[in-house]
Amino acid sequence: MPGHDVVVTGLGLLTPAGIGAAASWAGLCAGRPTAATDPELAGVPVDFSCALPDFTPEVLLGGRLVMRTDRFVHMGLVAAREALDDAGISPADWDPQRVGVVIGVSTGSMEAWAPPFASVAAGCHEEVSPFVVTRTLPNMAAAEISIDLGAQGPSLAVGTACASGATAIGVARDLVRSGTCDIVITGGSEATRVPIVATCFGQAGALSRRGHDPAGASRPFDVHRDGFVLGEGAGVLVLERAEHARARGARAAPVGLSGRAVTPPKARIRAVLTGYGASSDAHHFAAPHPEGRGAELAMRAALRDAALAPDGIDHVNAHGTSTPRNDLAEAFALHRVFRTPPAVTANKSVFGHALGGAGAIEAVCTVLTLQEQLIPPTANLEHPDPQCDLDVVTGSPRQARVRAAMSNSFGFGGQNAVLVFQTP
């Protein structure tokens, strides 16, 4: 697709490894799993998750906003503010009609429905809060970010299950590339640590049952993997038209400065978003195509879009959920796309699975890999599955020359979204 080059100039990240991009990246590179028994899930058959540490939205955002909105909105807004600050952009300096917001969400707010359901069932309609609507609408993360920043361009919510965050970034890229926007704040956010969510995914057989060892439960590509671990968080990127970024003084950030890439100076071009591919398995409402045919289509589409041959990719940030079928299908697809798949990592081994937020979180980490020239390790890979047969980074981060990297995201319903980032 011809059009404007699209660059990444800002990053925001909230994960169970830390609040902020620097803390999250440090935890990821340390390879420390964050899963633990979760008091919020007490009494649920699968009672462990990966939770944000010390997240205080009332302090960060103010009590009034927190009261009318849900946790997925809080996380998305905090990550968006960090990303904008990281980009060195002030809303006072932009044309608000040329700034868009695109945020991916999968489940949105499930918890907020429980009290009103109970009140209506009991005939106590007057007890239903007027804020239920604004707490539950999936577009409210994008809407509140637009309101907070005064962005008057397109404001969109994207829902493609666990591919939502990556799909949102692809949609945002197209808004910039087409010339519709100069800047788009984009990513994904999800609050999953809710009993009804844990119960439903548990009943579907998607969650790990490794309750005796929560920290070891998420183990992508391990022969003993048995399901994913619920996580939560948000990842936000500032995408910008390259000419616009350079006009305000942004220049390519130096690479390979381990430990310093997530700190000032501001106005950096961190990466170029050169490829986006999307596809549908058209196979099953929940299970991936057993051979990963839809995933392969999305990877090949992203490579074509980026004008890269498969051997031009130096690293893949895998979807890697730790479910038996998904990891195997992704591995099969990788082997067909790449004769010898490049070095792979799976961030969900540390962060858990943030559903609609996962693809955006992993996109931020992929950009940081390009920036740092460092591939984070995959935790808990003790017995690699010989059927997967991938070069999965384990133990400690791997220093590597990474000029182009791919980030994979796949979701229920056969939704596939693949992003390709390159060094500037």
**Which residues share a beta bridge with 48?**
37
By CB atoms closer than 10 A (0-12, 13-18, 19+), residue 157 is buried
Q: What's the rounded Cα separation, in Å, for the pair 159 and 136?
A: 14
pLDDT at position 186, please? Answer: 98
Which is nearest to 102 in space by CA: 254, 270, 303, 238? 238
Do the bridges between strand 315-317 and strand 343-345 make them parallel or antiparallel, or are there none, so unpaired? parallel
- Identify any residues that bridge with 375 across adjacent strands, giving them in sequence order: 398
Tell me how far CA of residue 165 lies from CA of 104, 123, 170, 325, in angstroms.
4, 38, 9, 22
Which residue type is seen at 154? P
Question: What does residue 319 show for φ and ψ, rounded to 5 degrees?
Answer: -60, -45
Q: Which residues are catalytic?
A: 162, 319, 353
What pLDDT is recorded for position 2? 57
Mean pLDDT of 103-119: 86
CA dihedral 240, 160, 360, 381 (to 10 degrees): -150
pLDDT value for 358 = 98
Pairing, β 271-280 against β 6-15: antiparallel
Range in 286-290, 353-357, 388-392 the model is least confident about: 286-290
What's phi and psi for 308, nearest 5 deg?
-120, 145
Give CA separation, 286 vs 166, 255, 318, in Å.
18, 40, 19
- How is residue 91 written in tokens? 């809303």
pLDDT at residue 321 in the model: 98
Contact 281, 293 (CB under 8 A): yes
pLDDT tens track for 47-85: 999 999 999 999 999 988 998 899 999 999 999 999 999
Q: Tens of pLDDT along 131-151? A: 888 888 999 999 999 999 999
CB atoms within 10 A of CB 227: 23
Tens-digit pLDDT profile for residues 190-199: 999 999 999 9
The predicted pLDDT at position 93 comes to 92
Residue 269 pLDDT exceeds 50? yes
Please name the amino acid found at residue 6: V
The pLDDT value recorded for residue 258 is 47
Cα angle 315, 317, 322 (rounded to 5 degrees) comes to 135
Q: Which burial class, exposed, middle or buried, applies to 325 when counting CB atoms under 10 A from its CB (0-12, 13-18, 19+)?
A: middle
- In this structure, the dihedral spanned by the alpha carbons of residues 310, 313, 315 and 316, taken in order and rounded to 10 degrees, is -50
Taking each helix axis as running N to C, give the angle between helix 324-337 and helix 293-306, from 0 to 180 degrees, rounded to the nearest 10. Answer: 40
Three-state DSSP state, 41? helix
Query: Is the pLDDT higher at 254 or at 348?
Result: 348
